Structure 1
């Protein structure tokens, strides 16, 4: 009798191990949507420090996470340049596999100086092939700095080489309210992001314009509710949730995006 019980226990244990292994294997087989960008995608640790949130903290709510993983690897303060030169992109790229998706949003910090002693994170304006040999006072060495478009193309080419799908979002509008009026100005980086995506024949979400279209229907007081009193670039929770929903709206409007198939 004892041997029968032992035999039965071993069968049950073996079944459990096989079942668990299948679950783990299935989990690993799921594609992943990686998000990369600046603080407007993920502010701080993505936990609402200072009541500030990026839209990437809420985008997973729109996806069927039984079928796809969503990983927010954005980092505040980064530009398309420093996300690469500081090793952040290498760490993300190492995890990207065939069938994954990488959604990127850069621009806010690219307009910074190329070689200031605070950040040294700026990129050359435009999407051309220009470069500049620059002394980086943060790293205390020479660095060849390229255009915003050059760095964006590198992201895109690296993703394609992995058999994954790149998606470009234009950056969210900043300072949308001035003198108690909704002020929606053109953003060069939003235009450059679109031009790069078009040239590389990849999906583009005009997030900048989608948000401006939303704000245009609201009063200045209503738009203010999406930001904290002292910050008009980084959204609060309400603003980040609106932006996440608009990213999804933009995704739904894409003609042949496979990522749409993973939405709830």
Structure 2
């Protein structure tokens, strides 16, 4: 009789299961379109590094997948002509974010294989923005990162001409979020100073690395340290941008 009563009580008052853990937001993809300063590298190019290679670690685990489609030598024109823009676009899903950073090669008039006149550069960027929005995704424009070129006063020279202003103007006209990487990296280099900022770039003595037996003094492409610092600086700018993507960053230490 006692056992029957207990069973009746348990059926009448079942034990509630523990509350399910709340799942975080579903992961989105952050696609990167750009040039060598952003791009992943071949082993034959190491220790050259693109700052996009250090972007994944800026986000909380499980919230973002970084798809780095940036490539060495690319301008907006060649990224389109080689089918790389369409390939990126085909993988974009609603809610994704597309970072767009071109300019280094577009403005290289001495390199006709990649040079893009300013008017075409503007049109290509506008196309990128429209294409991303048509996919229900968020474009995020970036100005080009600074080259390590100092004047006698210790200020970083602007080596990109009118191209960064074209990005700023498009962002303002079409209400596209912008992170001004040119100005941020100029500040980063100036804070370090002309000599110490070498550590951020591909500077190697002869015999120091098997990939560069004669050494190299490259003031455009980043060392691993420089790429990491630029990725961290991008994350710092994103954190204060008010963009939804900022909520997916790792918590600050």
Q: Contact between 1:207 and 1:250, CA under 8 Å: does it hold in 2?
A: no
Residue 220 of structure 1 deviates from its aligned partner by 1.2
Residue 253 of structure 1 deviates from its aligned partner by 2.3
- 1:123 counterpart = 2:116: yes
Aligned to 1:86: 82
Residue 183 of structure 1 deviates from its aligned partner by 3.1
Aligned to 1:259: 245
Aligned to 2:123: 150
Aligned to 1:110: 106
Aligned to 1:49: 45
Q: Contact between 1:168 and 1:197, CA under 8 Å: does it hold in 2?
A: yes
* Aligned partner (choices 188, 191, 204) of residue 214 of structure 1: 188
Q: Contact between 1:110 and 1:123, CA under 8 Å: does it hold in 2?
A: yes
Q: For 1:209 and 1:254, how far apart are their aligned partners in 2?
A: 15
With the length of structure 2 as denominator, give the TM-score of the two structures.
0.77
With the length of structure 1 as denominator, give the TM-score of the two structures.
0.74
Q: For 1:178 and 1:232, how far apart are their aligned partners in 2?
A: 14
Q: Contact between 1:173 and 1:212, CA under 8 Å: does it hold in 2?
A: yes
Q: Contact between 1:167 and 1:202, CA under 8 Å: does it hold in 2?
A: yes
Shift in alpha-carbon separation, 1:242–1:59, aligned structure 2, 3 A? same
Shift in alpha-carbon separation, 1:113–1:220, aligned structure 2, 3 A? closer
Q: For 1:38 and 1:159, how far apart are their aligned partners in 2?
A: 18
Tell me the secondary structure at the aligned position of residue 140 of structure 2.
strand
Q: Contact between 2:148 and 2:189, CA under 8 Å: does it hold in 1?
A: no
Q: For 1:183 and 1:211, how far apart are their aligned partners in 2?
A: 9
Aligned to 1:243: 230
For residues 33-57 of structure 1, give each alpha carbon's deviation from its aligned partner in whole angstroms, at most 9, with x where no partner exists. Answer: 1111000001434x58231111000
Name whichever of 186-195 and 33-42 sits farther off.
186-195
Aligned to 2:168: 194
For residues 179-232 of structure 1, give each alpha carbon's deviation from its aligned partner in whole angstroms, at most 9, with x where no partner exists. Answer: 795533264222211111111101100011011112222221111111122111
Q: For 1:199 and 1:48, how far apart are their aligned partners in 2?
A: 41
Unmatched segments (≥5 aa) in structure 2: 1-22, 204-216
Aligned-pair Cα RMSD in Å: 2.2
Q: Contact between 2:40 and 2:68, CA under 8 Å: does it hold in 1?
A: no
Unmatched segments (≥5 aa) in structure 1: 1-25, 127-146
Runs of 4 or more consecutive aligned structure 1 residues displaced over 6 Å after TM superposition: none
Aligned to 2:133: 160
**Greater C-alpha Rg:** 2
Q: Contact between 2:154 and 2:190, CA under 8 Å: does it hold in 1?
A: no
Residue 251 of structure 1 deviates from its aligned partner by 1.1
